[in-house]
Amino acid sequence: MIQLKHVSKTFQSGASSVHAVQDVSLDIKEGEIFGIIGFSGAGKSTLVRCINLLEKPTQGTVTVDGVELTGLDEKKLRQMRLKIGMIFQHFNLLRSRTVYQNIAFPLKKSNLSQEQKNQKILSLLELVGLSDKKDAYPSQLSGGQKQRVAIARALANDPKVLLCDEATSALDPQTTKSILALLKKVNEELGITIVIITHEMAVVKDICDRVAIMELGHVVEEGTTEDVFVHPQKPVTKDFISTAGNVDKIYELIAEKNPLTILQPGEKMVMLTYSANNAGEPLISYLSEAFDVKANIIYGNIDILKGKTIGKLVVTLSGEKANMEKAIAYIRERQVDMEVIQE
Amino acid sequence: MSFLYQIAPNLEPLGAELVKCIGQTLQMLFVSGIISFILGLLLGVVLIVTKKDGIMRQVAVYNFFDKAIDVIRSIPFIILMILLIPVSRAIMGTGTGVPGAYIALIAGTVPFFARQIESVLSDVDYGLVEASAAMGFSPIEIIFSVYLKESIPGITRVTMITMVSLIGITAMAGAIGAGGLGDFAIRYGHQMGYRDMIWVTVIIILVIISIIQGIGNLIIRRTTH
Ligand SMILES: Nc1ncnc2c1ncn2[C@@H]1O[C@H](COP(=O)(O)OP(=O)(O)OP(=O)(O)O)[C@@H](O)[C@H]1O
Ligand SMILES: [Mg+2]
């Protein structure tokens, strides 16, 4: 649905230039929810704004629904933008207009009849659960309600794609959940392809089918959410994953020199990440039976990832050196992701 | 009526003259007000869209108008008026009377108003402009549906301020024979020493300003949410 080919965006400010996006290629499929995650300044917003050409890429091509946007003139581009809805962190509702009028706003560009527009607005209000707020002004709404209006407005012209730039970053965790649930519903019921920019792993974990991780303008890692979660490759990815669960507490414990974390010579502390199909419990008893390696569980955590469970265990392994090596090789073979924390 | 003549004895002989002067002031306010509103709004919009981060970035255009506004604003009105007499003769066919004052009144008001419009429009959240661009709106549509529509309360507020300042300069237009309340106050209140006539002019001007502000406040209340 969306193809980015070697997209780069460089901002020139005086003598210095900022390479906000560098040689990014992505292929986002129809009907999927695609996450783009990265720390502040990684270039996520710039990248997503390149998709509807709010930012013109300095290099590369952007194709949406088979049309190469980078090759269009302004007029045709505006026509294509009707097919690409967008929502923002700060909602960007028109303050002088009611909820109803805000949703009606993009319909100025539509050639539906007045009555069809009215029906459309009412059904969108129902979809986002704000039928009773139709005559309220944005100043009378909560953040979550404002984002619902923004979503309804973005859907008014039946877009094929919905771009979300930090759409939940200004909301509390509970409201975030409800907005994500709404996006999921929009994706499933209307079949709209969704691109979500975020710096919260929890968002990706909840609804994204696939995810790309950005760092310094580059996409450094990309894959299905589960793969990336269970087998993270890059340090930045691991950072994000540890912020999503609470296993990073282990690092605090180590820093505090908690007695639990003090190792005897020859011991190793490792973090095991496993998904439901290679569950950890039998593994641990097997290590002791087959290799005579003792695994002492220090810390454990289970995450729910789009309905699938992802377990994380921090264990200290102790045993003969050769046995330890065999045990580790076995763990790797079982497709359980292992990270050595201390040795 | 007789009560009025008691507290302002000079009103009886000067009443007809006063009415004529009120008419001149209102005429100057109305004609130059409407023209200045249109030109100032246009210029304010041009400034906001052509500036560095504007939606129709044209730095040369912006710089030209930006400087021109500063230059005209720095000329005291009474001097600007005399400076523009030849221009008025060329455009209006006369440099005196009410018609001869229009050019100066407009030139004295537009730069002031345009600057205030620029500041009101720059308060419009750029996020709204971007969101509208993402929805497929053209720059012209964004000017009308976002910049102007969202700024109605602010535009009304600065229009009121500008009208009050315009009343102030119409009083000076008396110096080139445009008449009006300022001229009336100088001729009768000052030169002839009729103190009551000064008070009468002050009260009339206060009434005009109150009406303008009343209308303005009503619009602001109706359009602020
Ligand atoms: N219009 C601009 N002019 C100059 N530099 C810019 C502009 N927009 C973004 N940048 C720079 O590009 C880089 C990437 O910015 P971007 O907003 O895409 O990051 P981000 O990943 O969205 O960050 P955040 O999570 O803070 O929103 C930053 O270094 C930023 O300063
Ligand atoms: Mg951003």
In this predicted model, what pLDDT tens digit does every residue of A7-47 receive, in sequence order? Answer: 999 998 888 899 999 999 999 999 999 999 998 899 999 99
Confidence label for B176 from pLDDT (cuts 50, 70 and 90): confident
Q: Which CATH number goes with the domain that contains B69?
A: 1.10.3720.10
pLDDT score for A78:
95
Q: How far is CA B151 from CA A223, B78, B127, in A?
A: 46, 32, 15
pLDDT score for A228:
86
In this structure, of A252-261, B11-20, B90-99, B200-209, the range with the lowest mean pLDDT score is A252-261
Nearest-10 crossing angle of helices B97-122, B59-73: 130
- Across the range B36-41, mean pLDDT stands at 97
pLDDT score for A332:
82
- Whether residues A336 and A315 fall in one domain: yes
- Is residue B31 scored above 80 in pLDDT? yes
- Whether residues A36 and A177 fall in one domain: yes
- Whether residues A155 and A280 fall in one domain: no
pLDDT score for B65:
97
Give the best residue of B52, B125, B135 to mutate against chain A (max A CB count within 10 A).
Answer: B135
CA of A212 to the centre of ligand 1 (A): 17
Cβ of residue A139 closer than 8 Å to a chain B Cβ: yes
Write the pLDDT tens digit of every residue in A268-324.
888 888 776 665 557 788 888 888 888 888 877 777 776 677 777 888 888 888 888
Nearest-10 crossing angle of helices B152-172, B195-223: 170
Comparison of pLDDT for B177 and B175, the residue scoring more: B177
Task: Identify whether B148 is part of a domain.
Answer: yes
Task: Identify whether B3 is part of a domain.
Answer: no
Q: Which residue has the tokens 């039976």?
A: A289
Task: Identify whether B215 is part of a domain.
Answer: yes
Which pTM does this prediction carry? Answer: 0.82
- Across the range A80-107, mean pLDDT stands at 95
Does ipTM exceed 0.90? Answer: no
- Whether residues A332 and A212 fall in one domain: no
Write the pLDDT tens digit of every residue in A117-156.
999 999 999 999 999 999 999 999 999 999 999 999 999 9
Of A192, A215, A244, the residue that ends a domain is A244
CA of A45 to the centre of ligand 1 (A): 7
Task: With beta carbons under 8 A apart, name residues in chain A contacting B128.
Answer: 92, 94
Of A219, A244, A269, the residue that ends a domain is A244
Give the best residue of A13, A76, A91, A92 to mutate against chain B (max B CB count within 10 A).
Answer: A92
Task: Identify whether B125 is part of a domain.
Answer: yes
CA nearest A72: which of A58, A85, A86, A61? A61
pLDDT score for A37:
94
Comparison of pLDDT for A248 and B5, the residue scoring more: B5
Write the pLDDT tens digit of every residue in B39-70.
999 999 999 999 988 999 999 999 999 999 99
Of A197, A225, A244, the residue that ends a domain is A244
| Nearest atom within ligand 1 for CA of residue A48 | 18
Query: Judged by CB atoms within 8 Å, which residues 14-73 of B form the interface with A?
Result: none
Range of the domain at B137: 10-223
- Whether residues A158 and A16 fall in one domain: yes
Cβ of residue A56 closer than 8 Å to a chain B Cβ: no
Split into its structural domains, chain A has a count of 2
Comparison of pLDDT for B121 and B189, the residue scoring more: B121
Query: Judged by CB atoms within 8 Å, which residues 147-166 of B form the interface with A?
Result: 149-150, 152
Confidence label for B95 from pLDDT (cuts 50, 70 and 90): confident
Task: Identify whether B204 is part of a domain.
Answer: yes
- Whether residues A270 and A134 fall in one domain: no
Q: What are phi and psi of A300, to 5 degrees?
A: -145, 155
Task: Identify whether B1 is part of a domain.
Answer: no
- Whether residues A141 and A240 fall in one domain: yes
First vs last Cα of chain B: how many Å apart? Answer: 45
| Ligand closest to CA A8 | 1
Range of the domain at A210: 2-244
Strand partners, A272: A313, A338
Q: Which residue has the tokens 């965790």?
A: A173
Task: Identify whether B103 is part of a domain.
Answer: yes
- 3-class SS letters over chain A: CEEEEEEEEEEEECCEEEEEEEEEEEEECCCCEEEEEECCCCCHHHHHHHHCCCCCCCEEEEEECCEEHHHCCHHHHHHHHCCEEEECCCCCCCCCCCHHHHHHHHHHHCCCCHHHHHHHHHHHHHHCCCHHHCCCCHHHCCHHHHHHHHHHHHHCCCCCEEEEECCCCCCCHHHHHHHHHHHHHHHHHHCCEEEEEECCHHHHHHHCCEEEEEECCEEEEEEEHHHHHHCCCCHHHHHHHHHHCCCCHHHHHHHCCCHHHCCCCCCEEEEEEEEHHHCHHHHHHHHHHHHCCEEEEEEEEEEEECCEEEEEEEEEEECCHHHHHHHHHHHHHCCCEEEEEEC
Q: Which CATH number goes with the domain that contains A125?
A: 3.40.50.300
Pocket flag, ligand 1, residue A41 (CB < 6 Å): yes
Cβ of residue A73 closer than 8 Å to a chain B Cβ: no
Pocket flag, ligand 1, residue A19 (CB < 6 Å): no
Nearest-10 crossing angle of helices B152-172, B11-50: 130
Structure tokens at A57: 């890429």
Split into its structural domains, chain B has a count of 1
- Whether residues A237 and A279 fall in one domain: no
| Nearest atom within ligand 1 for CA of residue A197 | 22
